[in-house]
Amino acid sequence: MATSDLSAEDLAVLGAMGLDANTAFTVCRAGRGGPCIIQLDATRLGLAPEIAARILTRPCSCADTEHCAAEGEPAASARREPDGGPTTR
């Protein structure tokens, strides 16, 4: 997750769930206007459109999310995209 313009309350909930700035995650189902599914480590989260639309991500430059994190690169890996191409919000 690169940045977001979510409220402090929503950010606190997402942070407690493990989704912070500079967190690398995988988009499992792109929302296309509806809810989307992301995966953080072993946990999958369903995000409402109004939440997902406010999260700005940057596609990971390589498939290794740990590598991206080590490089300090804000990253979201697009490992698998059942709905289509990489998602960048």
Partner 1 sequence: MPPSIDSNDAARAHPEPQRPAAPPERVAMVGNPNVGKTSLFNRLCGVRAKTANFPGSTVEARVGACSIGGAELELVDLPGVYAVDLELPESKLCRDCLAGRLQGCMPDAILVVIDATNLARGLRLFRSVASAGRPLAVALTMTDLARTRGLSIDPVRLGERLGVPCVAANGRSGVGLPELVAAMRAAREPAPKILADALRPNWVDETATAIVGGPNTVGSETDRWTDRLDAAFTHPFLGSVVFLAAMALVFFAIFRLAEWPMDLIESTAGLVGGWIAAAMPEGAVSELLVDGVVGGVAGTVVFLPQICLLFFLLALLEDTGYLARAAFVMDRIMCRFGLPGQAFVPLLSSHACALPGIMSARLIPDPKDRLATILVAPFVSCSARVGVYVLLVSILFPDSGLLAGLAFAGCYALGAIAALLTALLFRRTILKGKSRPMVLELPPYRLPSLRSAFLTTYDRALVFLKNAGSVILAICIVMWWISAYPKAAAPEEALALEARAQAVAAEVESAPDAASAETLAAEAESLTAEAEVLSARAQQEFSYAGRLGDAFQPVFAPLGLDERLTVAVLTSFLAREVFRSTITVLVGSGDSDDDLRVAEEIAQAKRADGTPLFDMATSAALLVFFVLAMQCLPTLAVTRRETGSWKWPALQFVWMSAVAYLAAWVTRVAVIALGGAA
Binding residues vs partner 1 (CB under 8 A): 9-10, 12-18, 26, 28-29, 34-35, 37, 39, 41-48, 50-51, 65-66, 79-80, 82
**Based on the number of CB atoms within 10 Å of its own CB, is 35 exposed (0-12), middle (13-18) or buried (19 or more)?**
middle
Q: For 13-75, give the secondary structure using H, E and C.
A: HHHHCCCCCCCCCEEEECCCCCCEEEEECCEEEEECHHHHCCEECCECCCCCHHHHHHCCCCC
Say how far residue 9 (Cα) sits from the centre of its chain: 18
39/58 with CB nearer partner 1: 39
| Residue 48 CB, nearest approach to partner 1 (Å) | 4
| Residue 58 CB, nearest approach to partner 1 (Å) | 19
| Residue 20 CB, nearest approach to partner 1 (Å) | 10
| Residue 60 CB, nearest approach to partner 1 (Å) | 12
2/28 with CB nearer partner 1: 28
